[in-house]
């Protein structure tokens, strides 16, 4: 497993830490493979009852490493490292908790929609800037966000792609609690330990029932989003957005139809 994703088992909790601080924890294909491997290991190991995703006190993840994704995806989305990770996360039978500080961009926000508990530091900043990059929503967000917060608010977050605060996320019901950034991980880990102490089969049954209404539709949505996301990566709009990112300027979409 890459050292850019660290795993540690504490008791019955598997802690999965994104560890690429020099690049704001931007995620590469190899890192997605490691994240997916961690979820697979947790599912197969009966000594693990809960998974905790975290980063540092300053950063969760800046989202996809654009240099890794500029060439597009080499195969069908569900067979790529990012697609495999998202499907494993959406299908996880054991509880998943996230501790989020600082930037949580793109998939750094959408992956949280599949977590059972999310604790956010007061310094957390969430953003889904897919349209800003000439792309489209991923991670099931086009289904889950309208279902949870209403279409109008979902459209605002996904079509305008602006950043929003921990207070905004709390108001929208997207997180469980706002924490002191120095205590976010500790509070999340405390919940993990409380979950691990519960009857494991009862926890799995409860999670399955909570996920049941959207289960099949969610997997279809993940694949549909992924196919369109892959197409959008090859679009002229995405090429302009990625070039603008490298040149540290705003993209100019005025000449596109």
Averaged pLDDT for residues 87-101: 98
Helices (H), 77-130: 81-91, 107-110
- Beta-sheet pairing, 125-127 with 177-179: unpaired
Which domains does the chain possess?
A: 1-178+206-257 (3.90.226.10)
What angle, 0 to 180 degrees and rounded to 10, lies between the N-to-C axes of helices 81-91 and 29-44?
30
Residue 82 CB-density burial (10 A; 0-12 exposed, 13-18 middle, 19+ buried): buried
Residues sharing a CB contact under 8 Å with residue 16, sequence separation 6 or more, in sequence order: 5, 6, 7, 35, 38, 51, 52, 53, 54
pLDDT band at 69 (very low <50, low <70, confident <90, very high): confident
Distance (Å, rounded) from C-alpha 146 to C-alpha 8? 35
Contact call for residues 91 and 52 (beta carbons, < 8 A): no
Phi, psi of 112 (to 5 degrees): -70, -25
pLDDT digits (tens, 9 = 90+) for 192-237: 999 999 999 999 999 999 999 999 999 999 999 999 999 999 999 9
User: By C-alpha distance, which of 120, 104, 109 is closest to 149?
Assistant: 109
Q: Give the pLDDT confidence of 5-56 residue by residue, as tens digits.
A: 999 999 999 999 999 999 999 999 999 999 999 999 999 999 999 999 999 9
What percent of the chain is helix, strand and coil (3-state, nearest 5)? 50, 15, 35
The residue among 28, 184, 165, 163 whose CA lies nearest residue 97 is 184
pLDDT in tens, 155-195: 999 999 999 999 999 999 999 999 999 999 999 999 999 99
């Amino acid at each position: 497993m890459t050292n850019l994703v660290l795993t540690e088992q504490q008791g019955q909790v598997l802690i999965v830490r994104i560890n690429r601080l020099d690049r704001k924890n931007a995620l590469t294909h190899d890192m997605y493979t490691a994240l997916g491997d961690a979820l697979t290991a947790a599912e197969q190991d009966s000594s693990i009852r809960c998974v905790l995703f975290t980063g540092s006190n300053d950063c969760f993840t800046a989202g996809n490493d654009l240099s890794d994704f500029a060439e597009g995806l080499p195969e069908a989305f569900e067979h790529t490292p990012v697609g495999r990770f998202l499907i494993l996360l959406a299908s996880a039978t054991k509880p998943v908790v996230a501790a989020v500080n600082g930037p949580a961009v793109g998939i750094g926000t959408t992956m949280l929609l599949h977590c059972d508990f999310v604790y956010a530091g007061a310094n957390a900043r969430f953003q889904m800037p897919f349209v800003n990059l000439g792309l489209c929503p991923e991670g099931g967000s086009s289904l889950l966000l309208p279902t949870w917060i209403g279409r109008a608010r979902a459209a605002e977050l996904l079509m305008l792609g602006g950043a929003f605060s921990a207070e905004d996320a709390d108001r929208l019901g997207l997180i469980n609690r706002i924490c002191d950034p120095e205590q976010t991980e500790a509070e999340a880990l405390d919940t993990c330990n409380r979950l691990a102490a519960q009857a494991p089969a009862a926890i799995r049954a409860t999670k399955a029932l909570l996920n049941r209404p959207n289960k099949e539709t969610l997997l279809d949505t993940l694949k549909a989003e992924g196919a369109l996301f892959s197409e959008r990566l090859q679009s002229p709009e995405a090429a302009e957005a990625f070039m603008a990112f490298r040149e540290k300027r705003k993209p100019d979409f005025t000449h596109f139809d």
